[in-house]
Structure 1
Amino acid sequence: MVPENYQSIQINMEQFKNAITSFNTQLSAGVLEYFRLDKLKNTNPDAIVIVGMGGSGQIGNLIAGLATELKIPVPILIYKDYGLPRISYKNPFYLFISFSGNTAETISGFKKMTGLKAVVCSGGKLKKLADSSDAPAAIIPKSGLVSRQAAGYLFYGALQLIKTIFPNIKLTGHTGINPQTLEKKGLEIARGIKNKTILIYGSRKNNHLAYIWKTNLNETAKIPAFSNSFPEIAHNEITIFENNPKNTAVVLLCDEKDNPRIKNIMDIFLKLLKNKIPCIKINLEGKNELEKTWNNIILSGWTSYFLAQSQKINPRETKFIDKIKKLTK
């Protein structure tokens, strides 16, 4: 049966697909606009606290997960709530990220923070607050994207602010990123996990990537999806498979650089699941951690897109999220 809003869904499908195929255009700090960067120089913070929710909050997870690769010299804390966290650091740098610039939780924290702080957004209330308080800012170009599709903009904007403080941060290349080459694989994965509850697992090192799979499947395809990591799940969650849960599928993110003991646990896990429930093994591909990250995000985007397409639902729309935001203003 064709839904009443079929034409609208098709338009949104096309917009969503175009955002995936053009993702490369986001992978540069030079496409953003920056203000008051000089205020970050010679500040020497002893920690970075990244505040954000939803697709914007994922950037904190990404930067924390890539901190070793990027050679960020101080601890990174992630905060996803109203206000500010209680921490023991004496001179933290707070980075507030909100794609829309109107996220209530993020704004509440910005208003309370009186020390070193900066913002990444596309405008909205957060930009006005940054301007009025003379705080450094990275401004994303107007694009018509939804926040979960703007990971490149948000990441490089945040990283440019951090790099202003720590100039020795290392940014590896990402020449191996081609969204079109992952389209077919995304379709194959979508067909393998359709109409199922999805459990996404990886190593603790790649927990941020498993979480992005989960949230993309939740928001874009509107399906139940959950993420966790090895070795922790081998001590608890793995027992759910003893009962052969129905309508469940596993997506396993495998990395050649994972600890050999973790890889061994994953191999045993695959053998235990054989002929019980569908399990799709995804080998993270890329010359470095950054390429693996972007390829994985793009692949999760394609998979979510094709699942939404198969259900004839709008991949951009998030009715319940929008209602909660409206009712809690």
Structure 2
Amino acid sequence: MRQAILDFTKQFDYEPIIENSKSLATHNSFLLTGMGGSHLAADIVKSIQPEIDLTIYSDYGVAPASKEKKTNSLFIASSYSGNTEEVVEAYTQAQNEGITTAVLATGGTLIERAKADGVPYIQMPDTGIQPRSALGLSLLALLKIMGENALLQRVQQLKQILQVPALEESGRILATQLANKTPIIYTSTKNKGVAYNWKIKCNETGKIPAFYNIIPELNHNEMNGFDLQEKSKELGKQFCVILITDEADHPQNQKRMRVVKELYEARSISVIEQPLSGKSPEEKIFQSLLIADWMALHLAELYNHEAEKVPMIEEFKRKIA
């Protein structure tokens, strides 16, 4: 896992190629089905450019939409392995309904079917890393299939900007602060994809429970669960909030985060502020996610967990097969 993190920026050398591209028209609306690490790239696209008409669906089939929406959208079947059953079912549905379709995968059933059906596809290189670690490859492939070439080029420039080894100490310190704690990651709606990425890195790499939520929504419900009283105050001691702040957030949301921190700390809930930093949205996001990678790796080491594999997920897949 350490080497996968150190080598991460090499992914930005990737030049995605669309096969069967003659049948791919330009679209301004997109429906994507992807599970786990296979929708993380789409989450990041929405964080960088929230105005993009991209619906992300993580379930069996194509996202529920009107006939007009489906007719005018490109459906993207995203599965790193190419074998994810929810996404394979979505591909079948899209083909049966005549929805224009494209595939992103490293191989498997989806690539085989795309070849047989003449469907546009990008076959990403299978480097042996976990889907969550292949975010650079997945993001470039997604941007290519969406025709977002300007953003693709900006993302590729991150290879010269991100200093991966220099971020390890920040991740190590965070892991130390989180010892024997359950992280809850809070951020703004705009950065929801960032918080979700942090959560799954804790879950899959660190092998610990972790959760996330969004400001301002949590100010209307979740935070009241931390107004602990004498008989319930012990419940709060296991949690530590990581507050991902962003100077580009709505001013009122920035104020909300400051007040959440104040109220939680007054109730003995640990809060760690983790500001996004960088000159562009994509630099901010990937610098933050690399710190999360290092944090999760050091959490795995702290608890003597193997960091890369996901044995419980694989056991689950065997049981439902």
Structure 1 pair 22/169, CA: closer, same or farther in 2 (3 Å)?
Answer: closer
| 1:78 matched residue in structure 2 | 56
CA-to-aligned-CA distance 1:40-84 (integer Å, 9 cap, x gap): 2xx34352011100011222212222224xx74xx1101111122
The correspondence for 2:286, drawn from 294, 298, 303, is 294
After superposing on structure 2, the runs of 4+ consecutive aligned residues of structure 1 that deviate more than 6 Å are none
- Listed as ranges, the matches of 1:303-322 within 5 Å are 303-322=295-314
Amino acid paired to 1:177: L
**Which shows bigger deviation, 44-53 or 225-234?**
44-53
Is the Cα contact below 8 Å between 1:47 and 1:93 reproduced in 2? Answer: yes
Please report the TM-score for the alignment, with normalisation by the length of structure 1. 0.88
Aligned mates of 1:33, 1:168 — CA distance in 2: 16
Is the Cα contact below 8 Å between 2:104 and 2:121 reproduced in 1? Answer: yes
| 1:134 matched residue in structure 2 | 118
Amino acid paired to 1:324: F
Amino acid paired to 2:244: L
Is the Cα contact below 8 Å between 1:176 and 1:286 reproduced in 2? Answer: no
Aligned mates of 1:181, 1:147 — CA distance in 2: 24
| 2:271 matched residue in structure 1 | 279
Amino acid paired to 2:121: A
| 1:107 matched residue in structure 2 | 88
Is the Cα contact below 8 Å between 2:143 and 2:152 reproduced in 1? Answer: no
Structure 1 pair 28/77, CA: closer, same or farther in 2 (3 Å)?
Answer: farther
SS in 2 for 1:279: strand
- Percent sequence identity over aligned pairs: 29
Figure out how many residues of one structure are paired with residues of the other and give that number: 305
| 2:37 matched residue in structure 1 | 55
Alpha-carbon deviation of 1:29? 4.4
Alpha-carbon deviation of 1:252? 0.4
Is the Cα contact below 8 Å between 1:252 and 1:279 reproduced in 2? Answer: yes
SS in 2 for 1:27: helix
SS in 2 for 1:177: coil
| 1:121 matched residue in structure 2 | 105
- Listed as ranges, the matches of 1:1-329 within 5 Å are 16-30=1-15, 32-40=16-24, 43-68=25-50, 72=52, 75-88=53-66, 89=69, 90-114=71-95, 115-163=99-147, 171-172=153-154, 173-174=157-158, 175-243=160-228, 244=233, 245-274=236-265, 276-329=268-321
Alpha-carbon deviation of 1:311? 1.1
Amino acid paired to 1:221: G
Unpaired segments ≥5 residues, structure 1: 1-15
Alpha-carbon deviation of 1:167? 5.6
Aligned mates of 2:87, 2:33 — CA distance in 1: 6
Please report the TM-score for the alignment, with normalisation by the length of structure 2. 0.90
Aligned mates of 1:167, 1:218 — CA distance in 2: 33
Is the Cα contact below 8 Å between 2:8 and 2:136 reproduced in 1? Answer: yes
Structure 1 pair 300/121, CA: closer, same or farther in 2 (3 Å)?
Answer: same
SS in 2 for 1:274: helix
Aligned mates of 1:250, 1:116 — CA distance in 2: 42
**Which shows bigger deviation, 183-192 or 78-87?**
78-87
